[in-house]
Amino acid sequence: MQGMLVLENGVVFEGRLIGDLKQTYGEVVFNTSMTGYQETLTDPSYAGQIVIMTYPLIGNYGINADDFESHRSHVSGFIVGELCPTPSNFRSVFTVEEYLKSQGVVGLADIDTRHLVRIIREHGAMKAYIIPKSLECNIKLLEFPELSKNLVASISRKTRATYEPSNVKNQNNHIVIYDFGLKQSLIRSLHALGCRVTVVPYNMTVDELVKLCPDGVLFSNGPGDPMNLIDIAPELRKVAELFPTIGICYGHQMLALAFGMTTRKMHYGHRGGNHPVKDLRTGKVYITSQNHGYVIEPESLDSTEMIVTHVNVNDGTVEGIRHKSLPVFSVQYHPEACPGPKDTLFFFEDFIRMINHNRERCEAICPK
């Protein structure tokens, strides 16, 4: 069945509908990764978005049973240049189209993704519809309302859950993750270091947190504008003032808001596995995985206790911050990235070292 992508600026692309053959609506963004489409489809940070994969051939290794980042797909739509109908991989259990159908996700294939991405780069991320071509007569009637401001609330878990590492003998720390839309790779990365992990709702109070006696706290990745959750910033600050705390991506932005900084929407964001980030403390440059459409305003750090530790080499945006005196730091990129790159996995080891250095402080709050 033929389908159409209708951008809010009036540009229309025609292609072949794939997955669940229906109409969908969302913000169109693009991902430059050469692999990892399964992780992209199941990353909660893409909630509300129609994702363009810039790599020309998608689906050649299928969908396997192990690399999901959450229990379902969160994208509003999926756009590819060429879709491979016959994957070749011993781990494959579904084709991409079979998976899209099972998740109720509509996609569009056989379009000029290079041309489409150039439009997004020029005009910025914009809202759009994917519709069957049979509805072409209704294009002039389409409206482009604002997207939901409650994306985090819709995907964050409602009750807490604890996940034990497989190697229980080496268990040495209890980490609480605030779920703004976390990826399973975060849990896997902490399990690899012997940590027991408890995932809690994004709006858990500090009083409830103290009862869990964490050794450290992590604010996870997630979708949407962090300013939509500005009301919980004071509570997050209390958390960070009590326990060693780190933030990743959306969690990095929420940590910034908690300490008085501000954020802004980017023209078209950073999404892909090839973004260079410079550590200002060492001068080293790391290739990182990223997925965000908002960044910290660097000028807003001037009146805070935070300092910039990392910047994006391409555009100079803030990629990492650290508190001057508290055991608190965060990064905009994804050190837990799967399929990669793995340049910054040491981020979690730095977290554990910070926890060990501040263990007496935590034990004074939560005697064990």
Q: Which residues are catalytic?
A: 249, 334, 336
How far apart CA 353 and CA 341 sit, in angstroms, is: 23
**In 313-368, which ranges are E strands?**
318-323, 328-331
- What is the layout of strands, in order, in the sheet containing 285-296? 161-163, 195-201, 173-179, 216-219, 245-248, 328-331, 318-323, 306-312, 263-279, 285-296
Lookup result for tokens 């997955």? 19
CA 311 to chain centre: 18
How far apart CA 32 and CA 302 sit, in angstroms, is: 33
Judge contact between 125 and 52, C-beta under 8 A.
no
- Among candidates 279, 44, 294, which has minimal Cα distance to 177? 44
How far apart CA 235 and CA 217 sit, in angstroms, is: 13
How far apart CA 251 and CA 47 sit, in angstroms, is: 16
